[in-house]
Amino acid sequence: MKALSVVPLQAGSAALTDMEEPPVGDGPILVETLAVGICGTDIEILSGAYGWSPPGRERLVLGHESLGRVLDAPGDGPIAPGDLVVGIVRRPDPVPCTSCAVLEWDFCRNGQYTERGIKEHDGYLSERYRITPDFVVKVDPQLGTLGVLLEPTSVVAKAWEEVDRIGGRAHWEPRTVLVTGAGPIGLLAALLGVQRNLEVHVLDRMGEGVKPDLVRALGATYHSGRIGDLGFSPDVVIECTGVSSVILDAMTNIGVGGVMCLTGVSSGGHQINFDEGALNRSMVLENVAVVGSVNANRRHYEAAALALAAADREWLSRLITRRVPLAQWTDALTRSDDDVKVIIEVQPEKAVTT
Ligand SMILES: [Zn+2]
């Protein structure tokens, strides 16, 4: 079967090659991959900046945002042939740490977790893969190819769970949310905010285009200026840019008792002159909470599956701005300002339309 793989940390090593069928030892469920979403992590791996191959192997199969159709599954389980499914990315560490021991691998404490398509475990960008039932999540069949958005949605489902739980430390009646960044993560975070009946605001650099249109189509408000000029102090901030100046701006403008969740990964190395004392003072006097959030466990995938099933499918389909056949995979790596989510269709002839 065909698979797209790289030699991690070696730029230009990506290649679409033939490889053996997935080993039975990978699990009793055989899945035919339909589509794989491409995100910043994949671009980093492809550029040779990130990634680890499985032990004893040179190459790593790419792909962690997957959608597939079950070809074969044990007769007595919850998953049946024909089901549309998404594979979970992270696997608990073998020790396991106290978090992985209770299946909260997204909180792994020793860093020895593995991740399909990223860290020591082949990804989903092959024509077929095998998996065990505990790492596969069913998608509403009505979603069709849109199910490929489940993995990025699981990341924001976790961020929202953190906001809800931290907000619940005291009386909590949030009204406004600011999402910084209108990429796929930001737009999906905004969707979950609208589903919570909050007044959602999204801020990005673009003046016009697909992203502002998608924000407005959600019934949310789009902003492209500075956070200090919004004219209100958000109860919740979901930060999806990783840009230091945006993060500091949001931290200093959040409302009293507000919760801010950081999901964007900064590159580091940029130093900004700012008044840490004033920030500390306002955080203490206003009970502000700032929390970082990464990855997702099974609970978050299941919450994400419900959120996508409840979403407007026409709106979700506009998030997928380009569909590239596997044979033309290099086209998926170049992106324009108007690209939101680019996906690779592994079986373009079997594309599931909604
Ligand atoms: Zn762990």
Q: Distance (Å, rounded) from C-alpha 241 to C-alpha 187?
A: 12
**Structure-block tokens of residue 110:** 């020793």
What is the Å distance from ligand 1's center to 28 Cα?
24
Q: How far is the CA of 151 from the centre of ligand 1 (A)?
A: 20
Q: How far is the CA of 332 from the centre of ligand 1 (A)?
A: 33
**What spacing in Å lies between the alpha carbon of 314 and ligand 1's midpoint?**
38
User: How far is ligand 1, taken at its centre, from the CA of residue 104, in Å?
Assistant: 8
Q: Which ranges of the chain does DSSP label H, i.e. alpha helix? A: 40-46, 98-101, 150-167, 184-195, 210-217, 244-253, 276-285, 298-310, 313-319
Q: How far is the CA of 38 from the centre of ligand 1 (A)?
A: 26
Count each helix (H run) and each strand (E run) in the chain, helices first. Answer: 9, 19
CB 133 within 8 A of CB 29: yes
CB of 69 within 8 A of CB of 82? yes
In order, the DSSP letters of 243-299 are -HHHHHHHHHHPPTT-EEEE-PPP---------HHHHHHHHHHTT-EEEE-----HH
| Structure tokens that stand for 15 in this block | 């290649």
Sheet containing strand 120-121, edge to edge, reads: 90-91, 114-116, 120-121
| CA–CA gap between residue 2 and residue 15 (Å, rounded) | 10
For the segment 162-195, what is each residue's pLDDT rounded down to a tens digit?
A: 999 999 999 999 999 999 999 999 999 999 999 9
Burial class (CB in 10 A: 0-12, 13-18, 19+), 90: buried
What is the predicted pLDDT for the residue at 278? 93
pLDDT in tens, 274-299: 899 999 999 999 999 999 999 999 99
Name the percent of the chain lying above pLDDT 90. Answer: 92
224-245 tens-digit pLDDT = 999 999 999 999 999 999 999 9
Question: Taking the CB of residue 241, how many other CB atoms lie within 10 A of it?
Answer: 24
User: How far is CA 316 from each of CA 98, 189, 234, 341, rounded to the nearest angstrom?
Assistant: 37, 13, 25, 10
270 falls in which pLDDT band (50, 70, 90)? confident
- Decide: 221 and 215 in contact? Cβ < 8 Å: yes
**What amino acid is encoded at 80 in this protein?**
A
State the pLDDT at residue 335: 82
**pLDDT, tens digit, for every residue of 29-43?**
999 999 999 999 999
pLDDT score, position 353 = 57
Confidence of residue 342 (pLDDT cuts 50, 70, 90): very high
Per the prediction, the chain carries an average pLDDT of 95
Give the rounded distance of the alpha carbon of 4 from its chain centre: 20
How many A from CA of 132 to the centre of ligand 1? Answer: 19
Rounded CA-CA distance 48/286 in Å is: 43
C-alpha distances out from residue 312 to 177, 218, 241, 264, Å: 20, 9, 25, 26
CA 103, 104, 109, 113 torsion: positive or negative? positive
Contact between 301 and 65 (Cβ < 8 Å) = no
Report the pLDDT value the prediction gives residue 207, as an integer from 0 to 100: 87
Q: How far does residue 258's CA lie from ligand 1's centre (Å)?
A: 30
pLDDT at residue 351 in the model: 62
Q: What are phi and psi of 48, to 5 degrees?
A: 85, 15
Q: What is the pLDDT of residue 271?
A: 80
- Asked whether 192 and 307 are in contact (CB, 8 A), the reply is yes
Higher pLDDT, 82 or 354: 82
Average confidence (pLDDT) over 308-334: 96
Are 296 and 104 in contact by the 8 Å Cβ rule? The answer is no
pLDDT for res 51: 97
Other beta carbons less than 10 A from residue 132's beta carbon? 13
Distance 141 CA to ligand 1 centre (A): 33
Q: In the predicted model, what is the mean pLDDT of residues 146-164?
A: 98
* pLDDT bucket at 347, cuts 50 / 70 / 90: confident
Question: How many whole angstroms from 120 Cα to the centroid of ligand 1?
Answer: 15
268 vs 87, residue with greater confidence: 87
How far, in Å, from the CA of 180 to the mean position of ligand 1? 30
Query: Could you give the CA distance from residue 246 to residue 163 in angstroms, rounded to a whole number?
Result: 19
Measured in Å, residue 93 CA sits from the centre of ligand 1 at 5
